[in-house]
C-alpha cells in the first residue's frame, strides 16, 4: 500500500468517515478485504477502482445497507452498526442504480421521501417543489419516471438524497452511463453541494472524474485500498503521461530502449511485433533531447504520441496487474446479487 502525506484538515474539522479493516464476504468471494478509509469533514473523497473492486460494497457498509463481516466504521463518530439509526440521519445515499420509485412521478417520489424524513404534508410539498426547481425537473414533475432519461433519473435520485440536507453524501458512480454533457452538469451539482458544507464520498471508475472532483482519492482493487492520496500524488506515482513511439524499422527497438534509459532515465516497454515502445514521461522537457538523440543515431519514427495516464495504468503501476474486465464483471454481478438479494 502506498500512503502519501497525512491530512491537515482533519485535526480542525474532524472525520466524517472513519473505517478500519472493513471486510465483507459473499460466499468464497472476499468482496471487501480489509478496507481502511478516513474522510475529512467538508471534503470530497473519491474511491477509484474497476467494476467488482468492492466500491459499492464498501459504500453499502458505510451507509448501513450491509452489515460488515469484520472491522468497524464510524460516521461523524457514530458506529454504523451500533448506532445505525443515528448514522442514517446523517447520510444521503445515491446508488449506482437510481433508487427512486419507477411507478411514481418525480414529485410523488420527493413528497414521499420528505414525509418519511418527518416533514409535514405541506412542508413536504414545499420541499419537493424546491428540489424539483433546483434540479431542473419542474417541467417533468408530473410525468411517470418510465419516460425519464438516465440523467433526469440521476438528478431526481440525488435530489431525494438531499431532502434532509445530510452532512455526508454517498454517491455511488454518479456519472456512469451518462453522456458527457450530463456528466459535467452532475459534476457542477456535486461542487455546489460541497460549497454548502456537505462532505461527499463518491466512487468512480474514471480517473479524470476523481481528478476533477476529489480532494483525496483511494484506489481500491480486489477489496483492498492499494493507494491513497491527492490526485496529484497518485498521478505522480504513475508518471504524468506515457510517451509512445512507433518505429519505422522494428529492428531499432533495442537501441531506442537504451536511449530512453540514458536520456529519460526510465525503463521503456517494448512490444517488438508492432515496433511499439512506451515509456513513462515524468519530465516532458527531456523528450526533445530524446528525439534529438534518436535523429543523431539515425533512428526513424513512424509515429509519436503522448498518452495521459489511464486507470489501467494506475492499476498496472499500483497493483502489478491490469483491469481484468471479464473477471471484474463477474465479480460485479456477484456483488450486486449479494447486496440486493
DSSP reduced 3-state for 10: helix
Per CB under 8 A, 115 contacts other proteins: yes
Sheet containing 199-204: order of strands: 2-3, 224-229, 216-221, 44-48, 199-204, 168-172, 91-94
Residue 318 burial (C-beta neighbours within 10 Å; 0-12, 13-18, 19+)? middle
Residues of span 131-160 touching other proteins by CB under 8 A: 144, 160
Stretch that binds other proteins, among 28-36, 115-123, 219-227, 273-281 (CB under 8 A): 115-123
Choose which of 20, 69, 101, 129 interacts with other proteins (CB under 8 A).
Answer: 101
User: Taking the complex as a whole, how short is the minimal distance between the CB of residue 275 and other proteins, in angstroms?
Assistant: 46
Beta bridge partners of 70: 23
Contact predicate 164/193, CB 8 Å: no
Give the three-class secondary structure for 217.
strand
Compute how many other C-beta atoms are within 10 angstroms of the C-beta atom of residue 121.
Answer: 10
The Cβ of residue 265 has, within 10 Å, a number of other Cβ atoms equal to: 10
**334 near other proteins, judged by CB under 8 A:** no
Q: Does 108 help bind other proteins (rule: CB under 8 A)?
A: yes
For other proteins, which is the closer residue by CB, 91 or 238?
A: 91
Q: Which of 69, 70, 97, 240 binds other proteins (CB under 8 A)?
A: 97
Q: Give the total of residues touching other proteins (CB under 8 A).
A: 54
Using CB under 8 A, which residues numbered 72 to 91 contact other proteins?
75-78, 82-86, 88-91
For 285, the grid coordinates are: 522537457
Cell numbers that stand for 310 in this block: 489511464
CB nearer to other proteins: give 95 or 239. 95
Nearer to other proteins, 64 or 242 (CB): 64
User: Is position 215 an interface residue for other proteins (rule: CB under 8 A)?
Assistant: yes
CB 132 within 8 A of CB 106: yes
Binding site for other proteins (CB under 8 A): 14, 16, 41-44, 63-66, 75-78, 82-86, 88-91, 93, 95, 97-104, 108, 112-113, 115-118, 144, 160, 165-168, 194-198, 215, 340-341
Amino acid at each position: 500500500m502506498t500512503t502519501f502525506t497525512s491530512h491537515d484538515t482533519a485535526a480542525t474539522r474532524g472525520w466524517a468517515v472513519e473505517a478500519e479493516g472493513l471486510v465483507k464476504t459473499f460466499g468464497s468471494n472476499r468482496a471487501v478485504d480489509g478496507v481502511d478509509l478516513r474522510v475529512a469533514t467538508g471534503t470530497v473523497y473519491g474511491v477509484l477502482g474497476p467494476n467488482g473492486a468492492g466500491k459499492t460494497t464498501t459504500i453499502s457498509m458505510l451507509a448501513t445497507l450491509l452489515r460488515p463481516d469484520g472491522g468497524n466504521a464510524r460516521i461523524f463518530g457514530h458506529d454504523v452498526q451500533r448506532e445505525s439509526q443515528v448514522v442514517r440521519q446523517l447520510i444521503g445515499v445515491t446508488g449506482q442504480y437510481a433508487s427512486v420509485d419507477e411507478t411514481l412521478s418525480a414529485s410523488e417520489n420527493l413528497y414521499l421521501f420528505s414525509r418519511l424524513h418527518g416533514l409535514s404534508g405541506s412542508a413536504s410539498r414545499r420541499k419537493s417543489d424546491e428540489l424539483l426547481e433546483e434540479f431542473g425537473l419542474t417541467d417533468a414533475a408530473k410525468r411517470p419516471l418510465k419516460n425519464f432519461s438516465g440523467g433526469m433519473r440521476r438528478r431526481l435520485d440525488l435530489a431525494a438524497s438531499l431532502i434532509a440536507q445530510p452532512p455526508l453524501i454517498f454517491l455511488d458512480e454518479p456519472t456512469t452511463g451518462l453522456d458527457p454533457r450530463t456528466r459535467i452538469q452532475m459534476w457542477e451539482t456535486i461542487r455546489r453541494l460541497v460549497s454548502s458544507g456537505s462532505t461527499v464520498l463518491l466512487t468512480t471508475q474514471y480517473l479524470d472524474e476523481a481528478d476533477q472532483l476529489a480532494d483525496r482519492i483511494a484506489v481500491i482493487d480486489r477489496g483492498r485500498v492499494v493507494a491513497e492520496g491527492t490526485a496529484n500524488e497518485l498521478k505522480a506515482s504513475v508518471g504524468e503521461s506515457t510517451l509512445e513511439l512507433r518505429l519505422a524499422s522494428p529492428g531499432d527497438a533495442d537501441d531506442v530502449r537504451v536511449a530512453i534509459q540514458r536520456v529519460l532515465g526510465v525503463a521503456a516497454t517494448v512490444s517488438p511485433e508492432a515496433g511499439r515502445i512506451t515509456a513513462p514521461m515524468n519530465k516532458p522537457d527531456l523528450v526533445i533531447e530524446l528525439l534529438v538523440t534518436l535523429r543523431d543515431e539515425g533512428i526513424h519514427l513512424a509515429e509519436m504520441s503522448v498518452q495521459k495516464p489511464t486507470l489501467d495504468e494506475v492499476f498496472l503501476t499500483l497493483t502489478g496487474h491490469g483491469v481484468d474486465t471479464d473477471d471484474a464483471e463477474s465479480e460485479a454481478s456477484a456483488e450486486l446479487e449479494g447486496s440486493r438479494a
